[in-house]
């Protein structure tokens, strides 16, 4: 889960799978001249839209952060909890959408956990859980690559598209400060180009412009809560989340 803070003090709770759908919306408009094109298109688009499939169980029963008295934001949950969830998500993605999507979800998890030892050292079990994910998924990734006959170059480019649309979607759904980095866009020549972002009034300006259309309109949904809304118990928080009205949010991406 991630939060979008509003100027009036209210805030929007957005699920991880919902933010992933926005990644998929971006991917379907991707591919300006000079930028790498998604290949195979539908599989990459599906992987972008469902890369957080492993979070679905947690989002159905989110945990209470005692420090904030809100649901845990995704970065506040240790790998000892979410690395097994991510591995289960790989299995679900492979079974549901096929080997290409499963491979890209698995690779995206490996990318996340490759940086994990430098982050979130809150619990001694987190680092080993991240390493176990990388080590156990390596064989799965090799088998999936052999099954689809993909080259490392092709998979690396597709994985980079999942990563950059993930980063951009976090910026859109949760604010630029939510994003883990500016995002590195894969180019047709194999290089990577950093994207710069500016935000204001529901408009996100991106440079250089990676899309094939002059403007990209995005939509997603979340649950809004008022200023100062907190919960003392996990049960009360879950009940409030389940009962809260769902609000549609829109944003526009424009060239920067």
pLDDT digits (tens, 9 = 90+) for 136-150: 999 999 999 999 999
Check: pTM over 0.85? Answer yes or no: yes
User: Taking residues 117-135, what's their average pLDDT?
Assistant: 80
What is the maximum alpha-carbon separation in the chain? Answer: 53
Residue 179: pLDDT band with limits 50, 70, 90: low
Res 226: pLDDT: 95
Phi–psi pair at 33, nearest 5 degrees: -50, 130
Q: For residue 13, count other CB atoms closer than 10 A to its CB.
A: 23
User: Taking residues 149-178, what's their average pLDDT?
Assistant: 92
Res 53: pLDDT: 98
Name the more confident of 115 and 231: 231
Does residue 114 have a pLDDT over 70? yes
Res 203: pLDDT: 86
Name the more confident of 65 and 198: 65
Percent of the chain with pLDDT over 90: 84
Residue 182: pLDDT band with limits 50, 70, 90: low
> For residue 202, is it left (φ>0), alpha (ψ between -120 and 50) or beta?
left
CA 126 centroid distance within chain = 20
Residue 183: pLDDT band with limits 50, 70, 90: confident
Task: Identify the DSSP state of 233.
Answer: S
Does residue 168 have a pLDDT over 70? yes
Mean pLDDT, the chain, rounded, equals 93
Instruction: Indicate the SS3 state at residue 54.
Output: helix
Burial of 2 (0-12, 13-18, 19+ CB in 10 A): buried
Burial of 134 (0-12, 13-18, 19+ CB in 10 A): middle
As a dihedral over the C-alpha atoms of residue 226, residue 231, residue 237, residue 239, rounded to 10 degrees, the angle is -80
Report which of 86, 54, 77, 70 is spatially closest to residue 13, judged by C-alpha positions.
70
Res 176: pLDDT: 73
- Is residue 56 within 8 A of residue 20, CB to CB? The reply is no
Does residue 8 have a pLDDT over 90? yes
User: Taking residues 167-176, what's their average pLDDT?
Assistant: 88
Does residue 180 have a pLDDT over 60? no
């Amino acid at each position: 889960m991630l939060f979008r803070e509003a100027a009036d003090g209210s805030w929007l709770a957005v699920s991880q799978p919902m933010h992933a759908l926005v990644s998929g919306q971006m991917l379907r408009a991707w591919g300006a001249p000079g930028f790498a094109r998604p290949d195979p298109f539908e599989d990459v688009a599906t992987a972008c839209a469902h890369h957080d499939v492993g979070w679905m169980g947690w989002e159905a029963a989110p945990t209470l952060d005692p420090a904030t008295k809100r649901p845990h934001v995704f970065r506040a949950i240790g790998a000892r909890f979410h690395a097994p969830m991510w591995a289960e998500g790989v299995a679900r993605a492979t079974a549901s959408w096929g080997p290409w999507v499963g491979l890209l979800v698995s690779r995206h998890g490996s990318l996340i956990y490759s940086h994990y030892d430098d982050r979130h050292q809150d619990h001694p079990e987190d680092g080993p859980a991240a390493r176990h994910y990388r080590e156990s998924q390596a064989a799965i990734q090799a088998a999936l690559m052999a099954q689809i006959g993909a080259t490392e170059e092709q998979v690396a480019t597709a994985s980079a598209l999942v990563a950059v649309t993930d980063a951009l979607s976090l910026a859109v759904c949760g604010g630029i400060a939510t994003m883990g980095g500016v995002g590195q866009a894969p180019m047709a020549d194999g290089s990577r180009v950093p994207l710069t972002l500016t935000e204001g009034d529901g408009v996100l300006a991106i440079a250089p412009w990676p899309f094939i259309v002059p403007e990209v309109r995005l939509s997603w949904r979340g649950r809004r809560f008022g200023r100062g809304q907190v919960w003392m118990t996990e049960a009360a928080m879950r009940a409030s989340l389940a009962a809260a009205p769902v609000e549609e949010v829109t944003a526009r991406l424009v060239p920067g």
